[in-house]
Structure 1
Amino acid sequence: MIPVLVFDIETVPDVAGLRKLGDVVPDLSDAEVAELAFAARREKTGSDFLPHHLQRIVAISCAFRDREGFRVRSLGTPADSEAALIQSFFKVIERYTPILVSWNGGGFDLPVLNYRALVHGIAAAKYWDMGEDDRDFKWNNYIARYHMRHTDLMDVLAMYQPRASAPLDALAKMCGFPGKMGMDGSQVWNAFCEGRIEEIRNYCETDVVNTYLLYARFQLMRGAFTSDDYATEIDVVKRALAAETGPQWQEYLAAFDV
């Protein structure tokens, strides 16, 4: 079995970057700097969603499936630096060479990881290999949009048409899975400002489980899983979550409709 690594990131405005790039009054608070950036972005685009390179990563959560079972974790600790979290993510890729699975990872998570790794000077040789070191990677690598070594489920299911994209929460619930729990992406900045990083990590973990469950259903749809394989896989996930101690999992398991 090739290991599967489902990943998701949570981000906040890169206030330090905003201070470097803008004419910011020195005594403004981080929240005030961010609000100025939001206001400028809203005026320019109608949305306060900042560009990818101005997103700072505060959580990276992963669901990992291999022969040993299914595990879900947030990388590092709540106190770790952004650089440490990113380094941990690329170390997992370096060690296991997994299939990466995401929901909009090609449109958001990986570009943010790329920019932030560049800012911090983080090496990720296996991730960037496009056949220079391993010839197999020429035909199936993490970078190319149409390769399956990184399967962006949202992109694949939409046939690579942005206007056909669907939200993770909606698809998960339509398939009988719990969907998002605790918060959504729009609430992460306020939660971060209030010091609720553990809640952010817990929320991010439920997202990667939702994505893995949809990936299992995708494997059924494309013939990689039989009906029995699929039922077994859902049971593996449920049993693994039942053994977890995080406060989110009891509510999550109760929300299953399959």
Structure 2
Amino acid sequence: MAEKVSHLIFDVESIADGELISAVRYGGQGLTAEQAIATYQDELVEQNGTTFIPYTFQIPISVVIAKIAPDLRLIDIVSLDEPEFRPHVITKHFWRGWELYGRPQWVTFNGRSFDLPIMELAAFRYGISIGAWFKSDGYRSPRNRFSTDAHLDLQELITNFGAARCNGGLNLISKLISKPGKMDTTGDQVQQQADEGKYMAISDYCRCDVLDTYFVFLRAMVMMGKTTLDKEIQLVRSAKQWIEERADASEAYGAYLNAWTAWKNPWEEAKEAEATGKKDEA
């Protein structure tokens, strides 16, 4: 019997739909998909200092999901429709998987403003019914921003639903607890990697973001009083072993372990210092 899954931690990497950009923004100009993307990115750099194209013009090209047990253990990590990476298939597996596992809680970092909206829009684009996600249930409605029953956005948790800002994003929050954070790849490189056909590299990058999100999730559970620090330390140790067992078959896991540093537990350090002091006094 399959283990019960209570949380699905996920991350989405996406690429621009050049044909859509050409049709919507540059209709009649005869721009190719590649030209439309480049033109739009040039405009965005001039206006906002970034090449990031709004999610409404993007399609999911890699979605990685970590399955988490009720006791917060890492069960498995999967990359949807790997190695084909077909956006319509990724989208179908994403929503049908959520229903198959009994509609567990989604967990993201900044997923409220990007990852879930892009997957909703992809369902719209590809004609996939997700009625359960749009269920009207008052405060507990899955899409209610201030209910965390169906979706826990860790960035919104940290910022009190946008009342504060999280400068540094997942990279900073991960490094606060000595996890790797961003390594060789960043989100703004995904479009170029896709253009070069490097879809496995995109998936690997996505896997590392999911691992960071899992460890941030565990510490958030400590902060929220849903588990203890001692239990979290055990879960981190167990997850690291899980990664080590798969490192030979995955460049992503090998790179993640190479960037791993041990979290310095101040409570244990204080105990050790106190014990050393008493020993010296004796």
Output the TM-score relative to the length of structure 1. 0.89
CA contact (8 A) 1:70 1:236 kept: no
Counterpart secondary structure, 1:224: coil
Q: In the TM superposition, what is the alpha-carbon distance from 1:142 to its structure 2 partner?
A: 2.6
Shift of residue 20, structure 1, vs aligned partner: 2.6
Which amino acid in structure 2 is aligned with residue 84 of structure 1? Answer: V
2:131 aligned partner? 125
Task: Write the mapping of 1:55-94 to structure 2, written as runs, cut at 5 A.
Answer: 55-66=58-69, 69-94=74-99
Larger radius of gyration: 2
Q: Quote how far apart the aligned CAs of 1:128 are.
A: 1.9
Q: Is the 1:2–1:99 contact (alpha carbons within 8 Å) kept by the matching residues of 2? A: no
Shift of 1:24: 5.4
- CA RMSD, aligned part only? 2.0
Match runs of 1:5-84 below 5 Å: 5-21=8-24, 22-23=26-27, 25-26=29-30, 28-66=31-69, 69-84=74-89
Q: Is the 8 A contact 2:22 2:33 kept in 1?
A: no
Q: Which runs of 5+ in 1 are unaligned?
A: 132-137
Which of structures 1 and 2 has the larger relative contact order (alpha carbons within 8 angstroms, sep 6+)?
A: 1
Letter paired with 1:123: S
Instruction: Pick closer, same or farther for the CA change 1:184–1:162 going to 2, 3 Å.
Output: farther
Gaps of 5+ in 2: 264-282
Q: In 2 relative to 1, CA 207–47 (structure 1 residues): closer, same or farther, beyond 3 Å?
A: same
Task: Provide the C-alpha distance between the structure 2 equivalents of 1:18 and 1:5, rounded to a whole number of angstroms.
Answer: 32
Q: Deviations over 1:58-98 (max 9, x none)?
A: 11111111268421121112324211111110011111111
Partner of 1:165: 166
Call closer, same or farther: CA 1:79–1:29 in 2, change over 3 Å. Answer: farther
Q: What amino acid maps onto 1:113 in structure 2?
A: M
Question: Is the alpha carbon distance of 1:233 and 1:130 closer, same or farther for their aligned partners in structure 2, counting shifts above 3 Å?
Answer: farther
Change (3 A) 1:155 1:234: same
- Listed as ranges, the matches of 1:105-184 within 5 Å are 105-131=111-137, 138-148=138-148, 149-161=150-162, 164-166=165-167, 167-184=169-186
Per-residue deviation, 1:125: 2.3
Task: Output the CA distance in 1 between the equivalents of 2:50 and 2:228.
Answer: 43
Question: What is the count of residue pairs matched by the alignment?
Answer: 251
SS at the partner of 2:52?
coil
SS of aligned partner of 1:73: strand
TM-score (norm 2): 0.82
Q: Name the structure 1 match of 2:280.
A: none
Deviations 1:159-209 (A, max 9, x none): 112651241011101211111233010111111111111000000010011
Tell me by how many angstroms 1:247 deviates: 0.9
- 2 CA distance for matches of 1:78 and 1:180? 23
Q: Secondary structure at the match of 1:252?
A: helix
**Structure 1 Cα separation of the partners of residues 34 and 163 of structure 2:** 32
Percent sequence identity is 24
Select between 212-221 and 33-42 the one with higher mean Cα deviation.
33-42
Supply the AA of the counterpart residue of 1:249: Y
Give the one of 217, 240, 249 matched to 2:253: 249
